[in-house]
Amino acid sequence: MTPDGGLSSTGSLLAVAVGCAAASLWLLLPRGESGLRERAARRFGMLLGAVALALFVATGRRLGGVGEEAVFLIVALVAVIGGAATVVTRSPVYSAIWFALALAGVAGVLLVLGAQFLGVATIVVYAGAILVMFLFVLMLAQPTGMASYDRVSNEPLLSAVAGAVLLGLLTLFIGRLSAGPGECCAVPSKAAALAGSGQPQAPVAPEPPADSAGVDPLAANHVARLGGELFGRHLLAVEAAGVLLLVALIGSIAIVSRTPPDERADAAAWRANA
């Protein structure tokens, strides 16, 4: 397969996939319809979404082994399908539960990419804490059934097209990145940058990517080295993050426990009378 022919066919496949994704999102987003029409639109949208996903899978890069490829495919599909369902589901409670599924998929993708600590932290922090908080607020704020504003969208067609254009541009750029050593988007290596700061030298050959052989360079002693990096080089940032957490805690309590000004004036008048 020549690079040019492969590129153009991949590009057209990607264009079709992005178009299918846009149409699918438009059909699936709530548009204030009901009954048979909505059900038909939903079925057709799911079909188009499946076509788009299959095209994306077909244009994806082949990984080394069949097992690795299957695992990545499954977790990536779980993440993307969960994300799409989060966006298009009418009921916000179901939306939050689909988001939990998407989080599980994202954690799987992170694990496959070699980020063991982050995969587990995503599950613990997001699915364990943040999502439960979302559900709690949903139960507090929406005790009755589906509201009218959950069955309509702001400009579903324009939104779907905007998302598809963004996705198309990003995949186009990513495909070009991997197509070959183009001069336009070659990332300058550290060695070249260091050489440029000192005395002028002969151009340094670009260093090979760290992951050239498909082996994760960060795999050995992963969590220990991540901790060393976090509490060594980024210690100040960790302190700042701790302060941010404290400020958010105090701020949220302060905001939620503040009584409205008119009630406070009433209370003050009542106390003055009594």
Partner 1 sequence: MTPAPLVVNGLVVGAMLFALGLVGILARRNLIVMFLSAELMLQGVSVSLVSWSRHHGDWGGHVLVIFVLTVAACEAAIALVFVLQAFARAGRLDAAAWQSLRESVLPRVVDRELPASDAAVMEFPRLTPAGVEPEHDPDAALEREHV
Query: Which positions from 184 through 223 interact with partner 1, judged by CB under 8 A?
Result: 186-187, 189, 206-212, 214, 216-218
CA 45/CA 22 separation, integer angstroms: 10
Q: Which stretch in 1-9, 182-190, 196-204, 265-273 sits in contact with partner 1 by CB under 8 A? A: 182-190
H or E element in which residue 12 lies: helix 3-28
Distance between terminal CA atoms of the chain? 90
Nearer to partner 1, 211 or 266 (CB): 211
Nearer to partner 1, 227 or 269 (CB): 227
CB of 221 to partner 1, least distance (A): 12
CB of 143 to partner 1, least distance (A): 11
Nearer to partner 1, 51 or 118 (CB): 118
**Which of 40, 50, 54, 170 contacts partner 1 by CB under 8 A?**
170
- Residue 110 tokens read as 């992170």
**Which of 20, 80, 123, 127 contacts partner 1 by CB under 8 A?**
80
For the segment 99-128, give every residue that binds partner 1 (CB under 8 A). 99, 102-103, 106, 109-110, 112-115, 117-118, 121-122, 125-126
Count CB-CB contacts under 10 A for residue 180: 8
- Residue 18 tokens read as 């992005």
Nearer to partner 1, 180 or 199 (CB): 180
On whether the CB atoms of residues 90 and 150 are closer than 8 A, the answer is: yes
Of 131, 142, 71, 129, nearest in space to 105 by CA: 71
Count CB-CB contacts under 10 A for residue 103: 23
Integer angstrom CA distances of residue 268 from 51, 131, 254: 65, 39, 20
CB of 202 to partner 1, least distance (A): 19
Residue 213 phi, psi dihedral angles, 5° rounding: -90, 10
CA 20/CA 58 separation, integer angstroms: 14
Nearer to partner 1, 6 or 60 (CB): 60
By CB under 8 A, is residue 86 in contact with partner 1?
yes
Integer angstrom CA distances of residue 122 from 80, 90, 105, 115, 128: 16, 25, 10, 11, 9
On whether the CB atoms of residues 103 and 126 are closer than 8 A, the answer is: yes
CB of 274 to partner 1, least distance (A): 27
For the segment 21-50, give every residue that binds partner 1 (CB under 8 A). 25, 29, 32-35, 38
For the segment 228-247, give every residue that binds partner 1 (CB under 8 A). 229-230, 234, 237, 241, 244-245, 247
CB of 272 to partner 1, least distance (A): 27
Nearer to partner 1, 241 or 273 (CB): 241
